[in-house]
Structure 1
Amino acid sequence: MAETRPDRSRDAAFAWIAAIATLATILVANVAPARGPAPHPVATSPAEDPGCREWTDSCRVCTRGADGVHCSTPGFACQREALRCTGR
């Protein structure tokens, strides 16, 4: 009965190809120039948007003034909604 052996040269070739592809990826990631300036962070709420002077969540109203942010007191049975800018 003849013994079958796996083709070790083929396995070695695949191992070398995988190693070279990994090294090439690492080199390209570290050597390639960056693509322009980093994007500006997007304001996630009106309170973080410097262009929004007044915003509300239907419970309280907040305003941005020279001396900081001031918010009203929410009502007793208030049901909050998503923040939205009401004045620029």
Structure 2
Amino acid sequence: MPSHDETLAVTLSIAVALLVVLLAVIAGVGGGSQPATQGGPPGPACAEWTDGCVVCRRVPEGLACSTPGIACVPAAPRCLRPAGVPI
């Protein structure tokens, strides 16, 4: 049976590991906020586009993209709405 000190060390190690993972998620490590389109966004003449998996739109804060489906195979991005065309 482990000693009290060993149990405390294991418990603290697990707590530190969970804290590191939580901070990484909060900081956005992994590029979760980047659009999932392979070819990148089309030029500024396109306000909304898709690659068949996600739909991305230019917003004042930057780019906003949907979440891809579980078994999606992206295609070449295609423009859905030219810039200047209202939603």
Normalised to the residue count of structure 2, the TM-score between the two structures is 0.46
Larger radius of gyration: 1
RCO comparison, higher one (Cα < 8 Å, 6+): 2
Normalised to the residue count of structure 1, the TM-score between the two structures is 0.45
